[in-house]
């Protein structure tokens, strides 16, 4: 089953690449690696604002991270032209806007990791990962995630 068939089965439509909000590009390819800039969580087209441990639950954060995974796949599609060219999701780095005593950043980030695994499969979708708690994210977003992929 192609990546696009899997996305259709999950009722996922890939969004267009978002216009950068500062001085950067959405992606860079060097060799067989594609580096995607950080994507903030969005809800209804606006930053998904919140702080985990204060006014956003772990489950809401996980949903935000899943939404980011969809945006990341849209950008990856724009970068490589065909998601079936993705050999491996290599690395995901997640920043979670959280209070000092919140310790479930890894569970929030699962929202992204689990969807990538479901779409790309257990071999290509399994990836190295970091999940950090941070004091703030641009525009007050609750989560920001960047990704590195290997392509054929």
Q: What is the pLDDT of residues 66-95, one digit of tens each?
A: 999 999 999 999 999 999 999 999 999 999
* Angle, vertex CA 103, rays to CA 55 and CA 63, nearest 5: 55
Q: For 18-57, where are the alpha helices, taking DSSP H only? A: none
Q: Are 116 and 70 in contact (CB under 8 A)?
A: no
Distance CA(95)–CA(78), nearest Å, equals 23
- The pTM of this model reads 0.96
* Angle, vertex CA 108, rays to CA 97 and CA 12, nearest 5: 110
For the chain, what percent of residues have pLDDT higher than 70?
100
């Amino acid at each position: 089953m192609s990546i696009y068939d899997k996305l259709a089965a999950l009722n996922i439509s890939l969004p267009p690449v978002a216009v950068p909000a500062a001085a950067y590009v959405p992606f860079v390819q060097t060799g067989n690696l594609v580096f995607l800039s950080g994507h903030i969580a969005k809800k209804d087209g606006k930053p998904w604002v919140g702080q985990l441990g204060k006014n956003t639950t772990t489950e809401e954060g996980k949903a935000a991270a899943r939404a980011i995974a969809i945006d990341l796949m849209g950008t990856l599609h724009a970068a490589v032209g065909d998601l079936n060219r993705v050999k491996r999701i290599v690395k995901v780095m997640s920043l979670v806007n959280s209070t000092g005593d919140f310790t479930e950043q890894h569970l929030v980030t699962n929202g992204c990791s689990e969807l990538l695994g479901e779409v790309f499969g257990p071999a290509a979708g399994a990836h190295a990962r970091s999940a950090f708690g941070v004091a703030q994210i641009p525009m007050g977003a609750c989560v920001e995630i960047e990704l590195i992929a290997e392509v054929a």
